[in-house]
Amino acid sequence: MRDPASCLVAGVALWSVVALVASPGSGGPHPPQAPQQTEVILSISGEPGARPRYAVPDFILRTNDAETAAVAKLMGAVLWDDLAFEREFYMVPRDTYRTIPAAKSYGEIAFDRWRELGADGLVMGSVERTAPGTFRVEVRLFDVRSRRSVMAKEYTGTAANPRLYAHTASDDIHLQQRALRGAARSKLTFSSDRDGERVFNSIQPRDVKEIYISDYDGANQRRVTVTRKLNIMPRWSPDARAIAYTSYRRDFPDIFVSLIYQGTLENPTGGRDQNWLPAWSPDGTRICFTSARDGNSELYVMNRDGSNVTRLTNHPAIDTTPTWSPSGTQIAFTSDRNGSPQIFIIDADGLNLRKITSESWCDRPTWSPAPFNEIAYASRTGPGYDVRILDLATGERRQLTYGEGSNESPAYAPNGRHLVFMSTRAGKKQIFAIGRDGQGVRQITTVGNNYTPDWSK
Amino acid sequence: MRIRSVSSAVVLGMTLASLVVGACGTKKPPVARPLPPPPPITTPPPPPPPPAGPIRETPVVPAPAVVEDPMATRSIDDLNRDSPMRAAFFDYDSVELSAEARAVLGANAATLKKYASWAITIEGHCDERGTAEYNLSLGERRSVAAQSYLVSLGIPAGRLRTVSYGKEFPFDPGHDEAAWAKNRRVHFVITAK
């Protein structure tokens, strides 16, 4: 089967990523042997006890045309946002840069002026159009005090998605400066009714929902499914090349997998049973899901191709909403076997069941990636829900959202430092991102209603 | 076909009986008793053709009782739009069938018995207060509760498919108890007739 809309989701490949040798000034403190030079990590520090302050001015134009100018303008703004997102650096607001003359080359950087502005690190870059639609983007990170370039990278590729240059540079800077895996190149997926399509079946007109994907910051939102049916609860495969979701394309809930770069569709469960809420094992070889095939909601595990289905739970109550531990040895899920829905953990072989929440109503557990060992879930705190996190080692519970609308369906960023969730705080149902410390909330979607997000791994 | 086999059985029985009588004369083995005469085969006379009126019915529909029934002439979409199958409602986070719900299901069972060719889908729905994920399972349990009750009333399970929609398709988009009460329901959709 082919899913034509998925063909649109062609990845923008970075044709090559070339690391330039760091080019310190002539009188650097390090011996000039080149092989050792590349190994040296030059970390920019801020004032004692404060985060380093970074500035990202507009990129330098190497070729003088409108296309280059547009890409250069985008680079600075997107890179600033990307670096701000992880909150490892204090990002000096871009509207304060206008008193500083724009450099036409790296030799003209007014380091004294940037120092006056309080910048510790300066991210400068250049954009060159090498052929129509093809660019070479260079990004350098300068230590403003020492005036040294501590990182230099060159990226070449097409203009199909210029934001990806900035995302890649941001991840490289976080990796080099903070040994941190940034989230700038990760992606989101969610279900949306934004197209306003309705099915006029014989009972009532009904909204359809389609699966969408977007960049981590909400840019490049694209539709994956074109079924004019209900498509809900998408989950990224660990390699971020496929999305498993619950689709009513055959008028009952079943699990489908869209391979977004091939534009193909798989239906591993098949048959006539109702199956929903697929969850990929961390290695991507298995899918845990809920099925009513034996008369009520139980958890099952199958191989990715649908073979070797084994039943995990066996209880007349509801067992649903599975999530795997990072090691793949345990599965957390929702069950109402003790009354109201609560979160339980079971070993992946079906043994060692234990209950971990005792609240009013808990659902949609999402296990954090390592090194964090915690489970986020939606907990009823009033008329609606809030996102809470249970630390599995300490048993401590903390709350991320506080009663502003209903906040449900949390999912972790690949580095575990952020979560994405659905909230009604802005009126309609929208996707928001928030730090795992409960700070830095960002609205991701604005059009239509958007539900049940997931973050690529 | 049936007549011939019965009559041959009678002939065989009589032959056996006469053989037994001829051989022993005193004992009557119970196995060789002649079969009772077959009941008279009454083939119903073919229904007289309707006198003069135009024949609207296609010969595919064999039940003559339905001819005058408006249900038979309506399309499935028409039937569902103004359905003879009423929805049954539930309490919050409950799959228990109330007395009222049982009465509705009883009436629906009677309809299904009257129209024995109908197949239906039982849709399980929930109000918006539960989480979307859990509600898929709650809707599933509601549809199965209704299906089990209809089966207990004699409707074959093969005519009753269940589908859960969780809280995805509220019947009333409101956000108060009046709306929620309408949304915690099982809907009956006629899918074949």
pLDDT in tens, A307-361: 999 999 999 999 999 999 999 999 999 999 999 999 999 999 999 999 999 999 9
CB distance A184 to A216 below 8 Å: yes
Determine the pLDDT at residue B69.
72
pTM of the model: 0.83
Distance CA B161, CA A250 (A): 13
More confident position, A294 or A3: A294
**Of A236, A121, A213, nearest in space to A450 by CA:** A213
Residues in CB range of A92: below 8 A, 6 or more apart: A53, A54, A55, A117, A118, A119
Q: Is A402 helix (H, G, I), strand (E, B) or coil?
A: coil
Residues 202-221 of A with CB under 8 A from B: 202-204, 206-207, 209
Which of the residues B95, B96, B134, B180 would you substitute to probe the A interface, choosing the one with the greatest number of A C-beta atoms within 10 Å? Answer: B134
Of the candidates A273, A275, A235, A242, which has an alpha carbon nearest to the alpha carbon of residue A259?
A242
Query: Measured between CA atoms, how close is A7 to chain B, in angstroms?
Result: 28
Residue B83 confidence class, pLDDT cut points 50, 70, 90: confident
pLDDT band at B47 (very low <50, low <70, confident <90, very high): low
CA–CA dist B71, A103 (Å, integer): 81
Given a cut of 70, whether residue A20 has pLDDT beyond it is no
CA of B81, closest CA in chain A: separation in Å? 5
Token code pair at residue A75: 């680079």
A409: chain B residues, CB-CB within 8 Å: 131-133
In the structure, what pLDDT confidence band is assigned to residue B51 with cuts at 50, 70 and 90? low
* Separation between Cα atoms, residue B76 and residue B73, nearest integer Å: 9
Between B82 and B145, residue with greater pLDDT: B145
B132 and A297 within 8 Å at the Cβ level: the answer is no
The CB density around residue A34, as the number of other CB atoms within 10 Å, is 8
Instruction: For chain A, give the mean pLDDT.
Output: 90
Tell me the chain B residues in contact with residue A296 when contact means C-beta distances shorter than 8 Å.
137, 140-141, 144
pLDDT value at residue B80: 86
Quick check: A253 and B169 CB within 8 A? no
Judged by a CB distance cut-off of 8 A, whether residue B187 touches chain A is: yes
Cα–Cα distance, A75 to A278 (Å, whole number): 37
Q: Is B78 exposed, middle or buried (0-12, 13-18, 19+ CB in 10 A)?
A: middle
Q: Which chain B positions have a beta carbon within 8 Å of A297's beta carbon?
A: 136-137, 140-141
How is residue A161 written in tokens? 């998605």
Question: Is residue A205 pLDDT above 90, yes or no?
Answer: no
Contacts of residue B136 in chain A, CB cutoff 8 Å?
246, 253, 276-277, 290, 297, 320
Of B73, B165, B181, give the one whose Cα is nearest residue A248.
Answer: B165
Q: Which of A202, A340, A409 sits opposite B77 (nearest CB)?
A: A202
Residue of B nearest to A247 (CA): B165
Chain A CB contacts of B168 under 8 Å are 209, 230, 232
* pLDDT of res. A364: 97
- Report, as an integer, the average pLDDT of A436-449: 95
pLDDT of residue A42: 81
Q: For residue A371, say if its preceding peptide bond is cis, omega within 30 degrees of 0.
A: yes
Interchain pair A233, B93: CB under 8 A? no
Helix (H, G, I), strand (E, B) or coil at B107: helix
What's the whole-number mean pLDDT along residues B185-193? 92
Query: How sure is the predictor about A6, in pLDDT bands with cuts at 50, 70 and 90?
Result: very low
Q: What is the mean pLDDT of residues B36-64?
A: 61
For residue A343, give how far its alpha carbon lies from the nearest alpha carbon of chain B (Å). Answer: 11
Per-residue pLDDT for B3 more than 70? no
Q: Using pLDDT thresholds of 50, 70 and 90, give the confidence band for residue A202.
A: low
Q: What is the mean pLDDT of residues A148-173?
A: 94
Q: Which DSSP state fits B178? A: H
